[in-house]
Amino acid sequence: MRRRACGTVATHMDRERKRRTRLVVATSAALVLAGALVYTSFSAASDAKDPSQLAASAVAGRSYQLTGKVVRGYRQDGNVLLFRVRDRNGTASVPVRYTGAVPDPFRAGREVIVTVRKQGAVFAGEKDSLVTKCPSKFSADPSGHAT
pLDDT tens, residue by residue, 9-29: 667 668 888 888 898 888 998
Closest CA to 47 of 60, 64, 59: 64
For the chain, the structural domain boundaries read: 1-45, 48-133
pLDDT in tens, 115-137: 999 998 899 999 999 999 877 65
pTM of the model: 0.62
Are residues 114 and 132 in contact, defined by beta-carbon separation less than 8 angstroms?
no
- Give the whole-angstrom CA distance, residue 71 versus residue 141: 26
Read off the amino acid at residue 82. L
The CATH classification number of 48-133 equals 2.40.50.140
